[in-house]
Amino acid sequence: MVSIAIDGPAGAGKSTIAKRVAKELSYIYVDTGAMYRAMALYLHRNGIDAEDAQTIAGACGGAKISIEYRDGEQVVLLGGENVNPFLRTQEVSAMASRSSAVPEVRTRLVQLQQELAAAQNVVMDGRDIGTVVLPHAQVKIYLTASVGVRAKRRFLELQEKGESPVLSQIEAEIAERDHRDMTREVSPLKQADDAVLVDTSDMTIEEVSDRILSIVREKLS
């Protein structure tokens, strides 16, 4: 099986690019962030405090998370329910950022991710794919962009949805999330030694996908 690992901070464009690359290669796209979000939704629905790591550790075993593909889209099931529509709320993002630092949560989800990659060719994106989940991935990419550029992208995305975001606030949230993801004890976000760094700050989506596809072709040839 071939595995392509794409890691990087929030807003670097991982999911957009990973989806495109997966489609181009006819591989399965695995969005691991959505799994951490489904776990966070489960914890949130059970009224668990995001700061209470001990209770999260004890409760996470109750979440029955699985993945299915419907019309080529990844569907995350929580106890059989399609929870995709509930994964992008502010509450779930805030919980996911904290619960993903709990080792028991990571152990469960990493196992699921490794099973998926053992069964098919995948493009998997996340924070620790090249370092922890798939250390033997044939291709590893570390996708990043400046905080300012990532905040601007998020700002435009929210504006398009009809919201009235505040750029400075988004920028502060992104910087805080980066800090949490990069300094947590378990599987912090960092570039794997053998990952290729791609800074997307001044690149279009097309340029980034072309660059990654050329890296993939070179590595696999």
Binding site for ligand DC (CB under 6 A): 10, 32-33, 36-37, 96-97, 100, 126-128, 181
Sign, CA torsion 194/147/187/46: negative
Q: How far is the CB of 10 from ligand DC (least distance, A)?
A: 5
Q: Retrieve residue 71's tokens.
A: 């019309």
Least Cβ distance, residue 86 to ligand DC (angstroms): 13
> Which of 114, 121 has the CB closer to ligand DC?
114
Query: 100 or 209, CB closer to ligand DC?
Result: 100
> Least distance in Å: CB of 221 to ligand DC?
28
Instruction: Dump strand ranges (E) for 19-168.
Output: 28-31, 65-70, 73-78, 81-82, 122-126, 139-144
The least CB distance from residue 25 to ligand DC, in Å, is: 21
Which of 3/32 has CB closer to ligand DC? 32
Determine contact, residues 60/99, Cβ cutoff 8 Å.
yes
Residue 96 Cβ, how far from ligand DC at the closest point, in Å? 4
- Token couple for 107: 């152990």
Q: Which is nearer to ligand DC, 25 or 126 (CB)?
A: 126
Give the sign of the dihedral formed by CA 131, CA 132, CA 134, CA 135. Answer: positive
Return the number of the residue (36 or 214) whose C-beta is nearest ligand DC: 36
Q: Please report how close the Cβ of residue 217 comes to ligand DC at its closest, in angstroms.
A: 25
Query: Residue 113 or 209: which CB sits closer to ligand DC?
Result: 113
Extract the tokens encoding 33: 């962030």
Q: Is the Cα dihedral 27, 31, 32, 34 positive or negative?
A: negative
Token pair, residue 118, equals 């053992």
Name residue 113's amino acid.
Q
Segment (H or E) for 6: strand 3-7
